[in-house]
Amino acid sequence: MKKIPMRKCVVTQEQFPKKDLLRIVLTPEGTVEIDETGRKNGRGAYISRKPETVSLAMKNRTLDRALKTKVDDAIYEMLGEYVK
């Protein structure tokens, strides 16, 4: 049986299979992007695909702390489109 990689959501602190989460990455160039492949270089943070999780992340600015940089509101809006 193949091992399923697990990752923790930075908002809810729950463990999920990696494929069930969205990865947001701070690239070496300093830009914040949504990583659909899960393989881009840089510091990554995983977030659940639930709409309430994305809104909670925006309210608490969770990605700012996880990526140790200021995350633009446009990224949160793009995340909202991924979870609908």
pLDDT of residue 53: 94
Per the CB < 8 A criterion, the answer to whether 7 and 49 are in contact is no
Give me the mean pLDDT over the 54-79 stretch: 94
Q: How many of the other CB atoms lie within 10 Å of CB of 1?
A: 3
What pTM was computed for the model?
0.92
Q: Between vectors from CA 81 to CA 11 and to CA 46, what angle results, nearest 5°?
A: 30
Kind and range of the H or E run holding 60: helix 51-60
Give me the mean pLDDT over the 26-35 stretch: 96
Beta bridge partners of 43: 26
> Is residue 66 very low, low, confident or very high in pLDDT (cuts 50, 70, 90)?
very high
Give me the mean pLDDT over the 14-40 stretch: 95
Residues of the chain with pLDDT > 90: what percent? 90
